[in-house]
Amino acid sequence: MTESAVVHIEAGTDYADIRDSVRRVCADFPGAYWRTLEETGAYPSEFVQALTDAGFLGALIPEEYGGSGMPLRAAAVILEEIHASGCNAGACHAQMYTMGTVLRHGSQAQKDLYLPQIATGTLRLQAFGVTEPTTGSDTTKLKTRAVREGDRYVVNGQKVWTSRALYSDLMLLLARTTPLEDCARKSDGLSVFLVDMRQLKGKGLEIRKLPAMVNHNTTEIFFDNMRIPASSLIGEEGKGLKYILDGMNAERILVGAECIGDARWFTDTAVQYVSERRVFDRPIGQNQGVQFPIAKAYAEMQAADLVLRRACARFAAGLPCGEDANMGKLLASEASWHAAEACLQSHGGFGFATEYNVERKWRETRLYQVAPISSNLILSYVGEHILGMPRSY
């Protein structure tokens, strides 16, 4: 288990000014805006631009590169409030955690070139090319290859569930540079690249939209002898998996914060509805069968929030935070789903009416028990790496 260490955890409502600012931005994008996007399958460009203009998407980029230089907890608060306001950060949250790979492991030239443009929104880094159709979560078995030829890498393969690729200028790509059979460890031989996609579409790069249950503009990507500069390589060749995993704790924490925001939205929406909805001459919220699921989801949300806050505190202190990051994401995704179920159930038939926005948020929050990592994989991690039980198969 994670060793004991003293960390400071902010209690109550932290970053109140940031929360207020996020709510003001989100007020311009009510449920009708998101319903229209779903009808057309469009990308929320106006919403992403508003967040960019407010400086929220550059929150974790250091000030020397034009960002705000905020701690991870502040970024988590931003995403939490977006979701608590009824909006969805899925169109832009990847920038916050993929940017960290460039910041921590990129060359000085890469950081000088890209980070200021990402901070201002001149360039968008939203696409994260890791998952493949045949390998799923077994990243060490991925088949996309990048072969060095002089001052270029030639890339062949396929990625799937690569959200926002059609609306991103840059993509963080994980590919195998050394065949698996030539590696001493299966985690070796993988490299990460920062791919500038602007001039590559139709030149070895094909992006196809992949319709899904939620409007996350996800895609599948095909690489056919795509040639990229050798300078696209981040860090050392063959060490890419380590670089990607280094950012996973931040990803878990930020996605967990979104779940907390969803749980807050569902709880607040359910409480208001059951307090006003009258059947048999009394509010339906008087019925314990209606009250208790909402109250229980609220309690689960508060518990998950504390674990995520501890994860943020350990992250900020430079301490190991994998245990809290993973458990926090697991608990938050379950709390948000239980709150979603309670909210939908309490609305009865109206929960399925699009104008109430409950069914949209219900579908959106279900995703987090599957992606970016499934609940079962987190349980496996806790069982094996935290509790020391035998490896499961």
Distance, in Å, from the CA atom of 372 to the CA atom of 378, rounded to the nearest integer, reads: 11
3-state secondary structure of 54: coil
DSSP labels, 335-385: HHHHHHHHHHHHHGGGGGSGGG-HHHHHHHHHGGGTSSS-HHHHHHHIIII
Token pair of 388 as six digits: 């020391």
Which is the catalytic residue, given 251, 258, 300, 364?
A: 251
CA-CA-CA-CA torsion sign (69, 52, 22, 352): negative
Active site residue 355: no
For residue 281, count CB atoms less than 10 angstroms from its CB and return exposed for 0-12, middle for 13-18, buried for 19 or more. exposed
What is each CA distance from 244 to 53, 76, 128, 145, 158, in whole angstroms?
28, 19, 10, 17, 18
Closest to 270 measured CA to CA, from 200, 198, 358, 181: 358
Q: Are strands 190-196 and 170-176 parallel, antiparallel or unpaired?
A: antiparallel
Radius of gyration of the chain (CA): 21
Catalytic residues: 251
